[in-house]
Structure 1
Amino acid sequence: MINKKLLFSVKESIPYIRKNVMYQWIGLICNVCSTACLCLIITKQDNYFLYIGMILVCLIIRYIVNQKAIEMSYSSSHIVKETLRTQLYKKLSKIGIGYTNKWSTAEIVQLSTEGIEQLETYFASYIPQFFYSLIAPMTLFIVISFMNFKAALVLLVCVPLIPMSIVFVQKFAKRLLNRYWGQYTKLGDNFLENLQGLTTLKIYEADGHYHEKMNVESENFRKITMRVLTMQLNSITVMDLVAYGGSALGIVFALNGYHSGAITMFQTLFIILISAEFFIPMRQLGSYFHIAMNGMAASDKLFAILEKEIEEKQNVEIENCFISASNLHFGYTDQEVLHGINFKAHNGMIGFVGESGSGKSTIASLLMGQYSNYRGELKLSNYEIKDINIYPYMTLVSLESYLFSGTLKDNLSVAKDASEKEMNSVLEKVGILDFVHEQGGLNMHILEGGKNLSGGQRQRLVLARALLKDSSIYIMDEATSNIDVESENKIMEVLYELSKEKLVLCISHRLANLIHADVIYCLKDGDIVESGTHEELLQQNGVYRDLFNTQKELERYGA
C-alpha cells in the first residue's frame, strides 16, 4: 500500500507529511476531549459551563490544526509537483533529442500534467492518511481500554478488515489501472496526432474515417473507466460494511457491559459516540486509495523514464573542430541504413547528396546525437560523438527547426543572450531585416511554429538564430526545401560565406546548390559511392552525374 521508491523519490515532502499526521492526531485528541465533555453534560455531571467552555476550546484548536494540516498537504503536494516535473525535464534533457525514439510527445505531456497531478493526491492526502489511520485506532484503543477492554479490543480487531479488503482489491486494481492509464495515453496520442494532421485529413476528406476511429477508442476508454468506477464502488461498499459493522459490534459490547454493571452510563455513551472514530480514518484512506493507485500506475511510467540508464556525456574543450566517420554502420531496426561509410570533414562546405532514402538525413541525426547505437567510429575531432556533449560545437538547421510563440527577440535569445545590434546584424545577413522592421522590429509577434510567416521567412529566421549561436560546425539538413527560389539562393549565399570560417555540412535535395562545395559525398542505398568536387564527380560519369543531369532536365522542363 506504500510505494517506498515513490515516497523517497521526493524526500523533501516527508517533513510536511509528518507535520500533517501530527496535526490530525492533535485534532483527534481534541475530538476525544470534546466528546468526553459532552458525555459528562448528558449524564448530568456538575460544572456544565466548564465542560461547555472546554468543548469550545477543543473546537477552536481542532479548527486551527485542521487548517494547519491542509497547509501541510498543500506544501507537500507543491514540492512533489515541482520536484517530479523538474526531474522529468532534467532527465529528458540528458537523454537529448533521442527521447522521441522511445516515448511519444503526447505521453510525456500527459505524464507531466495529469500523471503528476494524480501523484499530488498520493502525497498530499493518501500517505498522511495512511499513517494517521494507523495511529488513530491505537490512540482510541488505549483510551477505551481503561473503560471497557472487550469493547476496545473488538473495535481494534475489526479495523484491519478494511485494509485487508483494500489489499484484496489492489491485486485486481493495479492490473486494471495500468490498462486504464495505457488506454488513456493511447487516446491522447491519437488525439494529438489527428489534431496536428487535421488539415491533411481535411484535404484528403479522411477526417470522417479518423473521426470514427477516435469514437471507437473513446468508447474503449469509456468502458475501462466504467470498470474502474465499478471496482471503486464495490470496494467502497465492502469498506462501509466493515466500518459500520465493526462500530455496531463495539456498541453491542459496550451496552452488554453497561447492562452487567461493568461500566457506567458515561463510559457507555462515550464508547457509542467515539466508536465510529475507529473506522473513519481507515474509511477515508479507502476513498483516497483508488486515486492513489491511479497515481502509482502513472508513476510506473514516470520511473521508466527517470530510471532509464544513459551514459553521462562528457563536457570537453575542443579548439579545432572536425568530423570523421570510419566504418560507420547504423540501422533503425534490424535492417541497416548505413553500410560502413567513411568520410572526413575538416573545413569549408561539405555536401551530402543522393536519392531519397539513401541515408543523408540519418547522418545528420547521428551527428546530432539522436542515436547512439551505431557501430564503427563517428568522431568530433578526437572524441566519439556518442560520449560527449556536442551541442556547444554543432548547430542543426532543418525544416523541423522550431520557432516559439512570442516575440522575435525571444526566439533569437534562445541561441544567445545577445544585444539588439547583434540580432539586427544576423537578420541583415540573411536578408530579412527590412521585413522585420516593417513588422515592428525585434518585438514582432511570432505564432507557434512560425505560422504567421512564409516558408522562406521562417527558414531565414531559423538561420539567423543559428548564426547568432556562432557554432564551430553547422549541419544543414534540407534547410532550403519547399521554400521560394529567392530565399533559397539567399540562404545558400549566407552558407557559402559562413563556410569560409566554419565547417558547414549541407544535405540538400537540389544538387545545383552544392556545385561550389569543397567536397561532395554522393550516397546510394546507404553507401558513399562517390566523392569529390562538382567537376570531379561529373567527370566520373557515375551516380552523381546521372542525378545532376536528371534534375537539370526537370528544372528546364519546369521552366
Structure 2
Amino acid sequence: MINKRLIGTVSESKRYIAGNVILQWCSLAANIAMMFSITNLFAGLYYGNTASHTLWTTGAVVVLTLLIRFLCTTGASRMSYLSSKAVKKTLRERIYEKLLRLGVSYKEQVKTSEVVQVAVEGVDQLETYFGAYLPQFFYAMLAPLTLFVVLCFVNVPAAIVLLVCVPLIPIAIAAVQTWAKKLLSKYWGQYTALGETFLENLQGLTTLKIYQADEFKNKEMNVEAEKFRKITMKVLTMQLNSITIMDLIAYGGAALGVIMAVTQYAGNHVSLAGCLLIILLAADFFLPMRQLGSFFHIAMNGMAASDKIFRLLDLPEHKLEVSESFPLQHDIVCSNLRFSYEPDREILHGVDLQFPQGSFTALVGESGCGKSTVASILMGRNKGYEGLDTIGGIDLKEISEHSLLQNITYISHQSYLFKGTVRDNLRMGSPSASNEELWAVLDRVNLAAFLKSEQGLNTPLLEKASNLSGGQCQRLALARALLHDSPVYIFDEATSNIDVESENDIMAEIHKLAKRKTVILISHRLANVVQADNIYVLENGRVAESGSHDDLLKKHGLYERLWTAQQSLENYGKEGGGK
C-alpha cells in the first residue's frame, strides 16, 4: 500500500522516513546484543561456570543497550514528528495554492465544506501514514530478515520456520485491503455529506428558529448521522476482525518458534543459550509486522482521504497562454452572452450589454432574471460562459484574475467583514492607508461619528461584524471599497435589507462615485437607478429593454410596469395619512 504519487508530492518526508527506519533497526540491533548477553549469562548460571566479571559485563551491556534503545526510540519519534509536520505543511500549501489558481470560481467545481474537510481532517489522517505506517512498513520488512540472518548462526530450521510464518500477516492485510478501500471510500463520502449538512444547518440556525423548521432539519441531520454511524461501525468491525486475525498469526508464529527452539534443544541441535535466544527473539519476528497491521486501517483511511485531496488538486484550471493586464481604456462589452449553472437550464440567453468607461449603468429586473449572474461573470467567478465578454477590446478570459480583481471592486448585500478591528477591515482595501485616510472615508459614509463614540479605528468586530447593524455593516463595506479605489465598481443589491437612512447615505456616495468611476448598479429598487446613464431591464435571462429612466417610462413596457408597481407600494397610505 505505497502511493508513489503521494510520497513524491511530499518528497521532503523521505529522509525522515529513512531516518526513522534506521533508528528502529539500530534499536533492534541493540536488543539482539542485549539478548545474546542475557542468554549467555543464564546458560552460564545453569551450568555453574559463570565468573563474577561476566555479571558486571552483562549488566554493563544491558545498561548500554537500554540507553541506545531509548535514544533510538526518542530519535524515531522525532523523525515521525518531522515527517508528519512536512506532510501537513506541504499538502496544505498545495491545496491553498490550488485554490488560488482556481480563483474565485472554485465553487463551480468543489464545495467549500469539502475543501475545509479535506484540508483539515483529510491531511491530519495522512499524519499516521507518513509518521508511522511508512516507517513501520520498511522496518517490518527489514527486521525479520535481520533476525533471520542472526538466528541462522544459532539454528537454521528454527530461523526458517519463523521467517516463513511472517508473510502470513501481510497476506491477511492484502486479503482485507480491497474490501477496506471500498468501505473507507464510502466512509469518507458519508463523512463529507454529514459535515456539509452540519455546516449548512449551523449557518442557517437563526433562520431555522425563526420559521420553526429546526425540528425538520434536526430529523434530516439525524438521518445523515445514522448513516455515518452505520458506516463507522462497519469500519470498526472490519478493523477488529482483521486485528484479531493478525494477532492469531503473530502469537501463533511466536509460539511455533518456541516449540521449534525446545525441540531443537531436546535433539541437541542447539545450545541452551541458543534455545533461550530463539525464544526471546521469536516475538520480535512478528511484532513489527503486527504493529504495521495496527497502522494499516488508519493508513487506509488516510489513503481514502488522499484520493479526495488529489481529486481537488487535479481539478482543471482555466489556463491561458497569454495573461493580459487590465487595460487603461476599459469599456466593457458583452455580446451574445450565455451562461448555464446546469447543462439543461440556461440562465442568460444571448445577452448584449455595454458599460462605457466612466458611465453609470444599472441592471434591473425581477428576481432570477440573471442580474447577479452577469456580475459574477464580470468578476471572473463564473467562467463557463459562451459568447464574448471584453474589457477595452481584450477578452475577459485573457485578463489575469489578479489584475481583474485589482481593478474591479464588487460590493454585495452580504459583503464579508472579518473578525478583528475596524482598522483591520478597512486596510484590506488599502494596506498603506493612513489613519487620516481611514477617518476621511468613514466620514464619507457617515460612520465616523458612531465609531468615535466607540473605540475609534480599534473598535472590535465580531465574526461577520455581528455586533454592528445591517446598515452599519454596509457603510463599513462601502468605506473599504472606496479605499480600494479601482476604476470599476459593481454594486450588487448593496442597499438591500438595510434602514432607509443607511440606504440614502450609500446611494448618495454611489452617485458621487459614478461621476469619476465606471459604476454598475444592480438594484431591485428602481428609485435608486433613476440617475443612471443607461438602464438595462432583464427578463428571463434576456434584455427586454434599455435606456434612461425617462426613455423607459415613455416606452410603456416592463420597466414602467415595475416602476408603477413599486411607486404604488412605496406611496401607499401617504395620501390617506395627509388627509
TM-score computed with the length of structure 2 as normaliser: 0.94
* 1:250–1:275 contact (8 Å) kept in structure 2: yes
Equivalent residue for 1:311, pick from 297, 301, 318: 318
- 2:423 is aligned to 409
Q: Is residue 2:401 matched to residue 1:387?
A: no
Find the residue that maps to 1:135 and give its secondary structure: helix
Equivalent residue for 1:541, pick from 556, 560, 575: 556
- 2:122 is aligned to 115
Cα deviation, residue 273, structure 1: 0.3
Q: Distance in 1 between matches of 2:363 and 2:306?
A: 44
Find the residue that maps to 1:311 and give its secondary structure: coil
Q: Which amino acid is the alignment partner of residue 73 of structure 1?
A: S
Q: List runs of 5+ in structure 1 lacking aligned partners.
A: none
Deviates more, 1:315-324 or 1:52-61: 315-324
1:18-417 alignment runs, 5 A limit: 18-44=18-44, 45-46=50-51, 47-312=54-319, 314=323, 316-333=325-342, 334-346=344-356, 347-388=358-399, 389=401, 390-417=404-431
Q: Distance in 2 between matches of 1:213 and 1:538?
A: 49
Q: Distance in 2 between matches of 1:48 and 1:59?
A: 16
Q: Which amino acid is the alignment partner of residue 383 of structure 1?
A: I
Cα deviation, residue 251, structure 1: 2.2
Q: Distance in 2 between matches of 1:471 and 1:497?
A: 14
* 1:312–1:387 contact (8 Å) kept in structure 2: no
Q: Deviations over 1:356-382 (max 9, x none)?
A: 111101101111111111111112223
* 1:354–1:524 contact (8 Å) kept in structure 2: yes
Deviates more, 1:57-66 or 1:247-256: 247-256
Cα deviation, residue 317, structure 1: 4.8
* 1:311–1:387 contact (8 Å) kept in structure 2: no
Q: Deviations over 1:100-144 (max 9, x none)?
A: 233333222222221111111111111111111111111111111
- 2:47 is aligned to none
Q: Distance in 2 between matches of 1:25 and 1:212?
A: 54
- Percent identical among aligned pairs is 51
Find the residue that maps to 1:372 and give its secondary structure: coil
Cα deviation, residue 162, structure 1: 0.7
Q: Is residue 2:483 matched to residue 1:468?
A: yes
TM-score computed with the length of structure 1 as normaliser: 0.98
Q: Which amino acid is the alignment partner of residue 372 of structure 2?
A: S
Q: Which runs of 4+ in 1 moved over 3 A?
A: none
Q: Distance in 2 between matches of 1:502 and 1:134?
A: 69
Cα deviation, residue 558, structure 1: 5.7
* 1:416–1:469 contact (8 Å) kept in structure 2: yes
Q: Distance in 2 between matches of 1:60 and 1:68?
A: 12
Q: Which amino acid is the alignment partner of residue 472 of structure 2?
A: Q
Q: Which amino acid is the alignment partner of residue 263 of structure 2?
A: N
* 1:430–1:464 contact (8 Å) kept in structure 2: yes
Q: Is residue 2:458 matched to residue 1:448?
A: no
Equivalent residue for 2:527, pick from 512, 536, 551: 512
Q: Distance in 2 between matches of 1:60 and 1:144?
A: 24
Cα deviation, residue 504, structure 1: 0.8
Find the residue that maps to 2:190 and give its secondary structure: helix
Find the residue that maps to 1:545 and give its secondary structure: helix
* 1:359–1:525 contact (8 Å) kept in structure 2: yes
Find the residue that maps to 1:262 and give its secondary structure: coil
Q: Distance in 2 between matches of 1:128 and 1:301?
A: 23
* 2:84–2:130 contact (8 Å) kept in structure 1: yes
Cα deviation, residue 315, structure 1: 5.3
Q: Distance in 2 between matches of 1:363 and 1:187?
A: 33
Find the residue that maps to 1:520 and give its secondary structure: strand
Cα deviation, residue 148, structure 1: 1.2
Cα deviation, residue 72, structure 1: 0.9
Q: Deviations over 1:232-279 (max 9, x none)?
A: 010001101111111122222222222222211111110110011111
Cα deviation, residue 318, structure 1: 2.3
Find the residue that maps to 1:328 and give its secondary structure: strand
* 1:181–1:297 contact (8 Å) kept in structure 2: yes
Q: Distance in 1 between matches of 2:271 and 2:505?
A: 98
Cα deviation, residue 395, structure 1: 1.2
Q: Distance in 1 between matches of 2:243 and 2:237?
A: 10
Deviates more, 1:307-316 or 1:271-280: 307-316
Q: Distance in 1 between matches of 2:515 and 2:524?
A: 22
Q: Which amino acid is the alignment partner of residue 568 of structure 2?
A: E
Q: Distance in 1 between matches of 2:242 and 2:573?
A: 72
Q: List runs of 5+ in structure 2 lacking aligned partners.
A: 45-49, 575-579
Q: Distance in 2 between matches of 1:395 and 1:295?
A: 41
Deviates more, 1:71-80 or 1:538-547: 538-547
Find the residue that maps to 1:7 and give its secondary structure: helix
Q: CA RMSD in A?
A: 1.4
- 1:490 is aligned to 505
Deviates more, 1:8-17 or 1:39-48: 39-48
Q: Deviations over 1:389-419 (max 9, x none)?
A: 1111111100121011111111112222122
Find the residue that maps to 2:498 and give its secondary structure: coil
Q: Distance in 2 between matches of 1:319 and 1:242?
A: 75
